[in-house]
C-alpha cells in the first residue's frame, strides 16, 4: 500500500525548501531513487536499518525498500476556499493524501518576508485551518440539503443522519477541525464519503533556524501550545540544514554533518517515521535470494490482508504463512538455522502480523 503525504503551508514558511531537499535526497537503494511523478510530487524510500541487516544475511540480487510519496501542495493563501491562489486545485490535492504535513514558520529572517509582516505560527496555522474548515462546511451543507427532503417525509434514518451532520457542522462553525470531534464510528461513517479536509491526520513541522534545531524557540513553543488540544505531533526541523544534508552522498560525511548539530538523524527521516506512527503503519519483509523487500501495512492486519499487498491472489487463495521474527532471523542468521532452532511458526488466517515479521505465504487459486 502506498503512503501519500501532502506538504502544506503559507508562502515563505520554508515549504518549498523542504520539498526541494526531499527532491535532492539520495535514496537508500538504487532501485528506488527519488523520482518526480509531477512537478510537485516525489517518491523517496523509507529508511529502515533492518533492510541492511537482512541484505547482509541473505545476499539477495536486489533490495526493495518501501516508499513514501510527498506532494508539494502549492497555492494556499487566505481566501483559497473562495478560489484565491490556486484555490480549488489546492483543496482537491489535499483530498487525495493520507496525511497532512503542515510546515509552520518558526524563524525570524529579515531577508524572507512574512506574508503578514511578522512571525506568528499560531495565526499562520489558523489561516490554513479556516480555509479547510470553510470547504468542509460547504461539503456538509450540500449533504444536509440532500437529506432534508427525505427527512421531512418522515424517514427516521435520514433524520438520524441529519443530526449527525449537524454535529459536525456546529463543531466546524466553532473554528474546530473535524479530527478533534469526539464522534462515534457510526457518526464518522455518515461523513466518510465527504473526505473532510480537516479530518486528515496532521503533523506540524516547526521550521526553525539552525541554532534552535535541538531545543526549539519561543515560536515553536507557541505552536506546541496552540495545537496541544489536537493531540498532534510537532517536529522541529530546519529546512536550511535539510537542504545541505540532501547534497551529501557519502554516509560518513552525512553522519559527521549531523553530529556537528548534535543530531542523530535527519529531520526528513524523523518526518517519515512520524508519518508511519500517525497512520498506524508497520513494515513486514519478504526475504529470498531474488530479493529482500519491505511491505507497508496497517497495524493490526491479519496475514491474508498482508499477503494481499503483494498480490490479490495471495489473499484470495491464502492457505498459511511461514513467519520468522526479525530478531530471530538476526540471531540465527539464516532461514535454515531458524527452522532448526524451531523459531519459525506456521500461522493461519487469524494471525496478526507484527512489525518486522519476515513472511512467506502459501496460497492456491
More confident residue, 22 or 82: 22
Q: Is the pLDDT of residue 85 over 60?
A: no
Q: Which of 326, 97, 264 is nearest to 195 (CA)?
A: 97
Q: Is the pLDDT of residue 34 over 60?
A: no
Q: What is the pLDDT of residues 302-334, one digit of tens each?
A: 999 999 999 999 999 999 999 999 999 999 999
Contacts of 313 by beta carbon, 8 Å cutoff, 6+ apart: 363, 365
The architecture (CATH level 2) of 126-198 comes to Orthogonal Bundle (1.10)
Annotated binding-site residues for ATP read 12-17
**Whole-angstrom distance, CA of residue 189 vs CA of residue 197:** 15
CA angle 268, 199, 183 (to 5 degrees): 135
Domain boundaries, the chain: 3-47+66-118+201-278, 126-198, 300-363
Radius of gyration over every alpha carbon of the chain, rounded to an integer in angstroms = 23
Q: Mean pLDDT, to the nearest integer, of 137-150?
A: 91
Q: Is the pLDDT of residue 75 over 80?
A: no
Q: What percent of the chain shows pLDDT beyond 70?
A: 88
Q: What percent of the chain shows pLDDT beyond 90?
A: 64
Which CATH code of 1.10.3720.10, 3.30.1230.10, 3.10.20.30, 3.40.1790.10 fits the domain covering 300-363? 3.10.20.30
At the topology level of CATH, where does 3-47+66-118+201-278 sit? Rossmann fold (3.40.50)
Give the pLDDT score at 326. 98
247 by DSSP, 3-state: which?
A: coil
Kind and range of the H or E element at 259? helix 251-260
Three cell numbers, residue 12: 515563505
User: Which of 74-88, 155-169, 171-185, 234-248 shows the lowest mean pLDDT across its residues?
Assistant: 74-88
CATH fold match for the domains 126-198 and 300-363: no
Q: Mean pLDDT, to the nearest integer, of 163-177?
A: 95
Annotated binding-site residues read 12-17
Give the pLDDT score at 73. 80
Q: What is the pLDDT of residues 45-57, one digit of tens each?
A: 888 999 999 999 9
Q: What is the pLDDT of residues 351-360, one digit of tens each?
A: 999 999 999 9
Amino acid at each position: 500500500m502506498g503512503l501519500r503525504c501532502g506538504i502544506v503551508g503559507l508562502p515563505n514558511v520554508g515549504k518549498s525548501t523542504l520539498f526541494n531537499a526531499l527532491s535532492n535526497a539520495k535514496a537508500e537503494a538504487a532501485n528506488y531513487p527519488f523520482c518526480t511523478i509531477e512537478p510537485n510530487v516525489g517518491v523517496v524510500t523509507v529508511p529502515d536499518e533492518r533492510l541492511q541487516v537482512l541484505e547482509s544475511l541473505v545476499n539477495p540480487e536486489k533490495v526493495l525498500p518501501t516508499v513514501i510519496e510527498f506532494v508539494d501542495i502549492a497555492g494556499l493563501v487566505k481566501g483559497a476556499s473562495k478560489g484565491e491562489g490556486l484555490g480549488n486545485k489546492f483543496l482537491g490535492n489535499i483530498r487525495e493524501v493520507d496525511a497532512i504535513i503542515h510546515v509552520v514558520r518558526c524563524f525570524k529572517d529579515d531577508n524572507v518576508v512574512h506574508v503578514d509582516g511578522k512571525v506568528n505560527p499560531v495565526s499562520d496555522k489558523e489561516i490554513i485551518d479556516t480555509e479547510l474548515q470553510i470547504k468542509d462546511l460547504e461539503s456538509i451543507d450540500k449533504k444536509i440539503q440532500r437529506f432534508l427532503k427525505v427527512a421531512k417525509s418522515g424517514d427516521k434514518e435520514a433524520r438520524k443522519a441529519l443530526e449527525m451532520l449537524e454535529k459536525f457542522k456546529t463543531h466546524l462553525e466553532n473554528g474546530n477541525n473535524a479530527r478533534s470531534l469526539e464522534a462515534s464510528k457510526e457518526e464518522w461513517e455518515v461523513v466518510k464519503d465527504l473526505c473532510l479536509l480537516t479530518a486528515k491526520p496532521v503533523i506540524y513541522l516547526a521550521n526553525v533556524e539552525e541554532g534552535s534545531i535541538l531545543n526549539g524557540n519561543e515560536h515553536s513553543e507557541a505552536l506546541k501550545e496552540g495545537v496541544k488540544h489536537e493531540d498532534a505531533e510537532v517536529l522541529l526541523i530546519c529546512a536550511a540544514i535539510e537542504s545541505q544534508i540532501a547534497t551529501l552522498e557519502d554516509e560518513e560525511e552525512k553522519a559527521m554533518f549531523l553530529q556537528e548539530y548534535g543530531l542523530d538523524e535527519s529531520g526528513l527521516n524523523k518526518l517519515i517515521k512520524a508519518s508511519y506512527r500517525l497512520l498506524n503503519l508497520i513494515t513486514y519483509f519478504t526475504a529470498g535470494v531474488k530479493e529482500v523487500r519491505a511491505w507497508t501495512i496497517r497495524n493490526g492486519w491479519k496475514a491474508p490482508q498482508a499477503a494481499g499487498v503483494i498480490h490479490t491472489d495471495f489473499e484470495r487463495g491464502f492457505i498459511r504463512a511461514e513467519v520468522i521474527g526479525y530478531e530471530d532471523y538476526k540471531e540465527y542468521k539464516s532461514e535454515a538455522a531458524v527452522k532448526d532452532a524451531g523459531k519459525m511458526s506456521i500461522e493461519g488466517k487469524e494471525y496478526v502480523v507484527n512489525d518486522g515479521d519476515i513472511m512467506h505465504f502459501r496460497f492456491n487459486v
